[in-house]
Structure 1
Amino acid sequence: MTKQQSRTQILKKRSKKKEKSIWFSIFMWLFILLFLAVIAGCAAITAGFFYLSRELPQINTLNDYRPAIVTNVFSDDGRKIGEFYKERRIVMPLSDMPADLINAFVAAEDSRFREHPGIDIKSIIRAFIKNFKAGTIVQGGSTITQQVTKSFLLTPEKTYERKLKEAILAYKIEKKLSKDDILFLYLNQIYLGHGAYGVEAASENYFGKHVKDLTLAECAMLAGLPQAPSRYSPFHHPELARQRQVYTLNRMKEEGMISNLEATEAMGAKLNIKPRKNWFIERVPCYTEHVRRYVEKKYGKEMLYTQGLSIHTAVNIELQKIARTAVNKGLLALDRRCGYRGPVKNIPALQIEDFSRAISEKLNGSRPIKGEIYKGVVLKVDDHNKISHVRVGNVTGIIRLASMAWARKPNPEISYKYAGIKKPSQALKTGDVIYVKVLEEMTGEKQYEFTLYQEPIAQSALLSIEAETGHVKTMIGGRDFKDSQFNRAFQSRRQPGSAFKPILYAAALDKGYTPASIIIDSPVVFEDKLNDRVWKPNNYAHKFYGPTLFRQALIKSRNIVSIKILQDIGIDYLIGYAGKLGITSPFPRDLSIALGSSGVSLFELTKAYSVFSNLGYLIEPVFITEIYDRDNTLLESPKLIRKKVIDMGTAYLMTNLLEGVVQAGTGQRVKALNRPAAGKTGTTNDLHDAWFMGFTPRYTTGVWVGLDQSVPIGRRETGSRAASPIWLDYMQDALEGKSVREFTVPEGIIRVKIDAETGLLPNAQSKNTVFECFKQGTEPTQHTPRPDEVFSTEELFKEGF
């Protein structure tokens, strides 16, 4: 081999080595780049994972699951009276849910739930292809685990970022929780329409029962809702809801969860779908609303509406019903005494058919129900037979004159003793659109018997406190909570009139007066030189009665005597005394407060009267007895606050005096209670407000009647006529079946025979003597002068007698 050839071979070898070296370098660089790309990709994925995970909730155990749940309010016997919530959710353990319900949701929403790790790749690919073709997200392909995550994510939009977050959270949940735990979260968290979150709330919403009591057909109906709760609502779209139910049952059959026979029977089962009761409106709405305001103010909205408090109250549902009935009866009677304000309108005869057809459509094929109120039209007025023919939708009936004799035209100049109308045409005519109440459906005929109905315009409030405990058992804040949520028992401030006088008289007893003190009932005139005004107060009957016993002045509610007592004891003293009894409303510093001219609430006045029945002790009224949080930890349990504010003897003397009001004074209607009772009427100037405040050894109860506009209630509608019948009706039913109790007489009270005309000890010639109660040491020691003894009037009735 020549040198040239050898050199050539060497060069070729070197070239090959160089070529290999270049390819090796390229390969190495590519490997390095690929390695770096993988690292970068992993870093990016990791960064993306942590970026998307940074705001995701942490659910490591079921203890981390703290959803918004319902706050419940209960009566004194544990019955539910109200609910407060943002999301109506009642969390139930999986063990309380029927297997058919769990299987129904799995079959309808995620049949591979037990197999996949939280993300179903097949479903995702299928959904991706459909979304790609559509150019937008039209299908989610979510598993049950992913659906659980949806409610924990803050944003509701359908984006790929959200889907990635769902997948990440689903993966995390599957790692931390079992399949049963995930089902627990899902079935309690999912929205199922009409404000119901979770299967328990939905079961109550649609079927009025607990989820544990659901049938297979009902389970399948609920399981069909998650896809579109509003579209498949059993209330609004029953046929679409049934189609989803059938789909769910078929899926359960295909998955081997139920037999063909079970599916067929469930498809044919008739479901009793009915709206859930509105506890707030149906039970004790005014009381519940009062509780709501208190809890929201003390604990905040978030606590009230999301943290599932259990609020136990002092209200008694039966007493509340009794009070509602008494108030409605009293207001209806008042309204009828004031006369008929006329029809809603009058329509021509040609429009009667169209009007009746419209009413019939509103009735939706149902017939009028006995006791209910409906709008109707007068077809004919028959004075000869004393009946009026009325049509309500497709139903006709009559109104007898006897049931509408009250329907005279309102006239404040006519006495309330006016007998009423003599023939139907005095109130009605053909074409009148009126409200009627169904009395009876005539046997064997299609006609009904109605009575003319008129919605009362007056309002009333009633509040009743249990003596020993201070528990507020009843509170009515107005005629109808649906029409007005204003609480006239607590929020309103109205003039109490003479119902305030017992506060004044109690203050006087503590200032040295006795039930036998004499005060001169004579005209007085007060001049306000600054405002150039003259005030000439008068008694209700516009008469003056001369020397008057303290007891008689209260029993007969004498205004002039009350003013003179206030002049004597002082305005500031009375205001301070009222404050001790729990009245916190402001008072003007003038003598008119003796006549109840300063506004107070029914709650305040009832609270003040309870001091008399509790022998001088003020027991703070209790609305809420206990509050528990969602973990059943006691948050609040008010202790009995019992504070002595006035002398026991004074309290008993006031009780005894107010018993006299019932027996012989303005409260005599209440004698029909046939039990020991004490009370006082109240009527303001121009008859704007009517009150009756009274108590028995068990309950202190106050009633107010008036109009929100502060205008006259009606002719002669005093506290005795407008308010005390409501009080009496309530107390009669509230005390029915309960033993009779007597008022307790404390030590230091004595009974002494006195002359009923002078208030002194009687002499042999005294014609009218009575036994009077005194605090020991305050009884009279002087005898009534004999006729042969000479005393001037001024000497006889000077201060001290």
Structure 2
Amino acid sequence: MTKQQSRTQILKKRSKKKEKSLCFSFFMWIFILFLLAIISGFAAITAGFFYLSRDLPQINTLSDYRPAIVTNVFSDDGRKIGEFYKERRIVIPLSDMPSNLLNAFVAAEDSRFREHPGIDVKSIVRAFIKNFRAGSIVQGGSTITQQVTKSFLLTPEKTYERKVKEAILAYKIEKQLSKDEILFLYLNQIYLGHGAYGVEAASENYFGKHVKDLTLAECAMLAGLPQAPSRYSPFQHLELARQRQVYTLNRMKEEGMISNLEATEAMGAKLDIKPRKNWFIERVPCYTEHVRRYVEKKYGKEMLYTQGLSIHTAVNIELQKIARAAVNKGLADLDQRCGYRGPVKNIPALQVEEFCRTIAGELNGSRPVKGEIYKGVVLEVDDYNKVTHVRVGDITGIIRLATMTWARKPNPKISYQSARISKPSQALNTGDVIYIKVLEEIAGEKEYEFTLYQEPIVQSALLSIEAETGYVKAMIGGRDFKDSQFNRAFQSRRQPGSAFKPILYAAALDKGYTPATIIIDSPVVYEDRLHDRVWKPHNDAGKFYGPTLLRQALTNSRNIVSIKILQDIGIDYVISYARKLGITSPIPRNLSIALGSSGVSLFELTKAYSVFSNLGYLIEPVFITEIYDRDNTLLESSKLIRKKVIDMGTAYIITSMLESVVQEGTGQRVKALNRPAAGKTGTTNDLHDAWFMGFTPRYTTGVWVGLDQEAPIGRGETGSRAASPIWLDYMQHALEGKSVEEFTVPEGIIRVKIDAETGLRPIAQSKQTIFECFKEGTEPTQYTPSPDEVLSTEELFKEGF
């Protein structure tokens, strides 16, 4: 081989080596780049994972699950009277949920729940293809675990970023929790419509029962709701809800969870779907609202509405019902005494049928219920037979004259007793649209008997405190909480009139007065030179009664005597005394406060009267007895705060004097209670406010009646006529079946016979004697002068001695 050939071969070998080297280098670079791409992709994924998961909630154990739950309010016997929440959720353990419920949700929402690791790839791929074809997100592939994460992420928007976050959190949850624990979170967290979060709240919403009591058919209906709670609402779209129920039952059957027979029976089962009770409105709304304001102020909105407090109160549901009934009856009676204000409107005969069809539609096929109020139309007024024919929807009936004789035209100058109507045409005309109350269905006929009704315009408030404990057992803040949430028992300040006088008289007793002290009831005139005015106070009857015993002055509510007492013992002293008894409202420094001119709340005045029933001790009223947090830790508990503020003897003597008010004074209507009772009426100028404040050894109760706009209530509507019947009605029913108790007489009280005219020791010639109570050492020692002694004194006076 020549040198040239050898050289050529060497060059070729070198070329081949170079080519191999370049090829190797190329593939090496490709490999390196591929590795870098993998590493970069992994790094990007890792970074993305950490980036997207940086703000995700941590759920490592079930103890981390602290959702917003319902705060419950309870009465004195543990019955629920109210709820407060942002999300109505009641968390219950999985053991309280029937297996049919668990299976129904799994079958309807995630049949492979027990198998997949939190993410179901098949579902995701299927959803991705549908979304790609549609050009937008139209279907999700979420598992139950992902739905749990969605509720925790609180991001309802449909984005791929959120789906990635769901997957990340689902993966984390699956690593930390068991399938049962995930199901527990899901069934307590999920929104199921109409404010219900979780299956327990939804079960109460739709079926009025606990989850553990649900039937298979009911379980299947609940399991059909998550896809679209509003669309499949059993309240609003029952047929669509049934379609989802059938779908769920079929899925359960396909998965072998139930038999074909069970599915068929459940599909045909009749469901009793009824709206959940509105605890707040139906039980004791005013009381519950008062509690809500207190808790919100002390603990904050977040605590109240999300942290599942258990608030136990002192209210008694039965007493509250009695109070409500008494107020309603008292206001209805008062309203009728003031006359009939006329129909809602009058419609021509051609519009009667259309009007009745509208009312029939509102009734929705239901029959009128005894005691309920309905809107009807007058068909005929029959003066001869003294009946009025009316119609309510498709129902006809009559109103007898005997039930509507009160329906005169309002006239404040005419007494209601002397102005009864004698025929129905004096009040009603054909075509009148009126409100009527169902009395009863006439036996053997299809007609109803109704009575004419009108909504009272006067308001009332009632507050009742248990004497020994201070527990506020009943509170009515107005005629109807749905119409007005203003609490007239607590928030309103109105003039108490003569109901303030017992505070003044108690102050006088502690200044040396006794029930037998004589005060001259005679005309007085007070000049106000600063404002160039003259005040000439007078008694309600316009008369002056001369020498008057202190007991008699309070019994008959003598204004002049009260003013003279205030002037004697001092305005500042009386104001200070009122403060000791719990009156916190501003009290002006003038003599008119003796007549109750200074506004107070019913709560304050009832609290003050409770001092008398508790023999001088002020027991702080209690609305809330205990509050527990969601972990059943006691946050606060009421304590008996009992402070002696006035002398026991003073408290008893005032009680005795207020018994006289009931027995022979302005509060005589209350005698019908037929047990020891003390109280005082109150009426303000122009009859704007009517009060009755009273107590027995068991309860201290106050009643106020008036108009919100501070106008006259009606002719003759004093505290005796307008307020005391409500008090009596309430107390009669509240004390029914309870033993009769006497007021306790403290040590140091003695009873002494005195002359009823002079207040001194009686003599043989005394016309009337009574036994009067005194603090020992304050009883009179002088005897009543004989007629001869009085005469000689007069003669001496005439002679100039």
Aligned residue type for 1:310 = S
Aligned residue type for 1:236 = Q
Counterpart mapping for 1:106-125 below 5 A = 106-125=106-125
Q: Tell me which stretches of 4 or more aligned residues in structure 1 moved more than 3 Å.
A: 790-796
Counterpart mapping for 1:523-602 below 5 A = 523-602=523-602
TM-score w.r.t. length of structure 1: 0.98
Q: d(CA) in 1 for partners of 2:790 and 2:461?
A: 54
Q: Which residue of 1 aligns with 2:64?
A: 64
Aligned residue type for 2:400 = R
3-state DSSP class of the match of 2:418?
coil
Q: d(CA) in 2 for partners of 1:739 and 1:638?
A: 27
Q: Which residue of 2 aligns with 1:294?
A: 294
Query: CA deviation digits over 1:135-162, x for unaligned, max 9?
Result: 0000001000001111101321110001
> CA contact under 8 A between 2:462 and 2:474: conserved in structure 1?
yes
Q: Which residue of 2 aligns with 1:393?
A: 393
Q: d(CA) in 2 for partners of 1:592 and 1:422?
A: 45
Q: Which residue of 2 aligns with 1:463?
A: 463
Q: Which residue of 1 aligns with 2:135?
A: 135
Counterpart mapping for 1:417-436 below 5 A = 417-436=417-436
TM-score w.r.t. length of structure 2: 0.98
> CA contact under 8 A between 1:416 and 1:716: conserved in structure 2?
no
Q: d(CA) in 2 for partners of 1:425 and 1:112?
A: 76
Matched, 1:642 2:628: no
Query: CA deviation digits over 1:297-353, x for unaligned, max 9?
Result: 100110000000000000000000011111111001100110000011111111111
Q: Compared with structure 1, are the counterparts of its residues 204 and 74 closer, same or farther at alpha carbon in structure 2 (3 Å cutoff)?
A: same
Matched, 1:723 2:730: no
Q: d(CA) in 1 for partners of 2:239 and 2:351?
A: 36
Counterpart mapping for 1:371-520 below 5 A = 371-520=371-520
Q: Which moved more, 1:134-143 or 1:30-39?
A: 30-39
Cα offset, 1:439, TM superposition: 1.0
Matched, 1:34 2:29: no
Matched, 1:779 2:779: yes
Q: Which residue of 1 aligns with 2:606?
A: 606
Query: CA deviation digits over 1:57-108, x for unaligned, max 9?
Result: 1000000000000000000000000001011110010011000000000000
Counterpart mapping for 1:606-625 below 5 A = 606-625=606-625
Q: d(CA) in 2 for partners of 1:260 and 1:154?
A: 39
Q: d(CA) in 1 for partners of 2:712 and 2:221?
A: 57
3-state DSSP class of the match of 1:151?
helix
Overall identity of the aligned pairs, in %: 88
Cα offset, 1:12, TM superposition: 1.6
Cα offset, 1:638, TM superposition: 1.4
Q: Which residue of 1 aligns with 2:799?
A: none
3-state DSSP class of the match of 2:789?
coil
Counterpart mapping for 1:276-315 below 5 A = 276-315=276-315
Aligned residues: 796
Aligned residue type for 1:219 = C
3-state DSSP class of the match of 1:789?
helix
Q: Which residue of 1 aligns with 2:227?
A: 227
CA RMSD, Structure 1 to Structure 2 (Å): 1.3
Cα offset, 1:355, TM superposition: 1.0
Cα offset, 1:444, TM superposition: 2.5
Q: d(CA) in 1 for partners of 2:793 and 2:254?
A: 108
Q: Which residue of 2 aligns with 1:682?
A: 682
Q: Which residue of 1 aligns with 2:52?
A: 52
Aligned residue type for 2:407 = A
Cα offset, 1:416, TM superposition: 2.8
3-state DSSP class of the match of 2:153?
coil
Q: d(CA) in 2 for partners of 1:233 and 1:727?
A: 46
> CA contact under 8 A between 2:398 and 2:448: conserved in structure 1?
yes
Counterpart mapping for 1:161-240 below 5 A = 161-240=161-240
> CA contact under 8 A between 2:690 and 2:718: conserved in structure 1?
yes
3-state DSSP class of the match of 2:626?
strand
Q: Which residue of 2 aligns with 1:341?
A: 341
Cα offset, 1:174, TM superposition: 0.4
3-state DSSP class of the match of 1:625?
strand
Q: d(CA) in 2 for partners of 1:46 and 1:765?
A: 113
Aligned residue type for 1:159 = T
Cα offset, 1:30, TM superposition: 2.1
Q: d(CA) in 1 for partners of 2:676 and 2:494?
A: 28
Q: Compared with structure 1, are the counterparts of its residues 794 and 324 closer, same or farther at alpha carbon in structure 2 (3 Å cutoff)?
A: farther
Q: Compared with structure 1, are the counterparts of its residues 524 and 793 closer, same or farther at alpha carbon in structure 2 (3 Å cutoff)?
A: farther
Query: CA deviation digits over 1:346-389, x for unaligned, max 9?
Result: 11111111111111111112221221111111111111110111
3-state DSSP class of the match of 2:106?
helix
Q: Which residue of 1 aligns with 2:710?
A: 710
> CA contact under 8 A between 1:673 and 1:732: conserved in structure 2?
yes
3-state DSSP class of the match of 1:417?
helix
> CA contact under 8 A between 1:653 and 1:774: conserved in structure 2?
yes
Q: d(CA) in 1 for partners of 2:793 and 2:609?
A: 36
> CA contact under 8 A between 1:677 and 1:695: conserved in structure 2?
yes
Q: Compared with structure 1, are the counterparts of its residues 489 and 792 closer, same or farther at alpha carbon in structure 2 (3 Å cutoff)?
A: farther
> CA contact under 8 A between 1:611 and 1:619: conserved in structure 2?
yes
Cα offset, 1:445, TM superposition: 2.0
Q: Which residue of 2 aligns with 1:799?
A: none
3-state DSSP class of the match of 1:751?
strand
Q: Which moved more, 1:364-373 or 1:674-683?
A: 364-373
> CA contact under 8 A between 1:762 and 1:769: conserved in structure 2?
yes
Q: Which residue of 2 aligns with 1:95?
A: 95
Cα offset, 1:793, TM superposition: 9.5
Aligned residue type for 1:31 = F
Query: CA deviation digits over 1:517-548, x for unaligned, max 9?
Result: 11111111111111111111110000111111
Cα offset, 1:33, TM superposition: 2.0
Cα offset, 1:417, TM superposition: 2.1
> CA contact under 8 A between 2:408 and 2:419: conserved in structure 1?
no
Aligned residue type for 2:242 = R
Q: d(CA) in 2 for partners of 1:452 and 1:786?
A: 63
Aligned residue type for 2:628 = Y
Q: d(CA) in 2 for partners of 1:301 and 1:494?
A: 31
3-state DSSP class of the match of 1:411?
coil
Q: d(CA) in 2 for partners of 1:343 and 1:646?
A: 54
Aligned residue type for 2:230 = S
Aligned residue type for 2:496 = P
Cα offset, 1:35, TM superposition: 1.9
Q: d(CA) in 1 for partners of 2:49 and 2:556?
A: 86
Query: CA deviation digits over 1:534-593, x for unaligned, max 9?
Result: 111110000111111110000000001000111011111111111110010001111101
Cα offset, 1:792, TM superposition: 9.8
3-state DSSP class of the match of 1:788?
helix
Aligned residue type for 1:338 = C
Cα offset, 1:712, TM superposition: 0.5
Q: d(CA) in 1 for partners of 2:171 and 2:669?
A: 76
Query: CA deviation digits over 1:404-456, x for unaligned, max 9?
Result: 00100110110132250000100001111101111111222221111111111
Aligned residue type for 1:138 = V
Q: d(CA) in 2 for partners of 1:792 and 1:599?
A: 50
Q: Which residue of 2 aligns with 1:522?
A: 522
3-state DSSP class of the match of 1:694?
strand
Cα offset, 1:795, TM superposition: 14
Q: Which residue of 2 aligns with 1:365?
A: 365
Q: d(CA) in 1 for partners of 2:392 and 2:51?
A: 67
Query: CA deviation digits over 1:712-742, x for unaligned, max 9?
Result: 0110000000000100010011001111111
Aligned residue type for 2:777 = G
> CA contact under 8 A between 2:376 and 2:434: conserved in structure 1?
yes
Query: CA deviation digits over 1:587-607, x for unaligned, max 9?
Result: 111110110001100000000
3-state DSSP class of the match of 1:773?
strand
Query: CA deviation digits over 1:177-203, x for unaligned, max 9?
Result: 000000000000001111110000010
Aligned residue type for 2:551 = R
Aligned residue type for 1:171 = Y
Q: d(CA) in 2 for partners of 1:580 and 1:253?
A: 74
